[in-house]
Structure 1
């Protein structure tokens, strides 16, 4: 799987659907048609993009729950906000990389995180236990959180 294929699958998200599961379903089904290595590769690319966004400069611009010194900051909410950036496609992702202020305000999309595991389980009927190339949890990108 290359970058073009990755973004092609992201572009299958059905924003007309009524539920998050229905939104991601076309991407899950397409990914499940590929071999397991391609599913793992998709997970690696997704993890790399989430990792790149795991930086304070992006966390400062997510709306009401933005990072602030000496205040509670939801690491899960920030992970889901980063997923929202990717779910909105390559052009938006690149815009946000260049301009952190373009981070979505008060929007998240957790369901994107489960696309690889759902595709793998749909394809194989087996549990997904792959660990992607990059850690996705907030604060994993140590360089991105340095002052």
Structure 2
């Protein structure tokens, strides 16, 4: 796993929702969110990422889940508490890429990012973002990023 600086997360038409769950049940939260979007008549575009709002070692993780959608003016029922951004961008990220076995390697990647910030005199300015990406040859990989400032 290598670390890169000055990365950006940038997407158009992103729906998001806050969740609390035990880390092993992130799939349940993602499925719930997907169903909310489906019931609201919007179609995901394949973009998927989340921000960890609690420490990764917490028993219950607070996170904001994000899904890109094809619609540019969605209407969500108020009780679902879904937010919409026509444009989402976070700059000045330090990023580590996890090519396989995400569940087993995510803790290690998190601590590598933390140590990198500390070792380079940087301080964290955003939550940790975890973005799922598609490989051109098929399959997925994960980029874990955090905003950093000197």
Q: TM-score w.r.t. structure 2 length?
A: 0.28
Please state which structure has a larger fraction of its residues in strand.
Answer: 2
- Structure having the larger proportion of residues in helix: 1
Q: Structure 1-normalised TM-score?
A: 0.29
